[in-house]
Amino acid sequence: MVNADFFTIEEEEEGEVTVDDVSVYGLGREDSLLYDSASVRRISLPLDPNSDITTFVVLFPENSDTLTFHHTTSPFFHSYECGYVLHYDLSGFEYSTNVIDSVRLEISKITHQYERHLKIYL
């Protein structure tokens, strides 16, 4: 899961912002929405472990953008009780800028399920 938080830049100060009515799905999985007209500060995006590229479509009220991640999958043996979990290494990303102003990568090693990995500036 790549955790992306929304921000706005107002007069050179970043502020976390809640975005209303946003929907997200993975490219190729239009039938299954990750977020459906939701009001969120953070979107958690699952990477496709069987691929090295995953693209998401983010539908804002006014327009939509795509977010593409390039990644490698690293299985990690968490413990005898839990077995294996998936860690990812982000090697790059692209995005369109219809609504999104810019995106900043905070952490490229996706290992922790609650950390912020990405900042999306609107």
Determine if 36 is a binding residue for another protein (CB under 8 A).
Answer: no
Applying CB under 8 A, among 74, 103, 105, 108 the residue interacting with another protein is: 74
Instruction: List the structure tokens of 25.
Output: 């799905």
Q: Which is nearer to another protein, 86 or 122 (CB)?
A: 86
Stretch that binds another protein, among 8-16, 84-92, 96-104, 112-120 (CB under 8 A): 84-92
Cα distance between residue 39 and residue 104, in whole Å: 21
Determine if 81 is a binding residue for another protein (CB under 8 A).
Answer: yes
Instruction: List the structure tokens of 88.
Output: 């990812």
Q: Which is nearer to another protein, 76 or 114 (CB)?
A: 76
Instruction: Give the residue from 57, 63, 118, 109 showing the smallest Cα distance to 87.
Output: 109
Determine if 40 is a binding residue for another protein (CB under 8 A).
Answer: no
Work out how close the CB of 85 gets to another protein at its nearest, in angstroms, rounded to a whole number: 7
Q: Which is nearer to another protein, 14 or 84 (CB)?
A: 84
Q: Provide the binding-site residues for another protein, judged by CB under 8 A.
A: 26, 29, 32, 34, 46-51, 54, 73-86
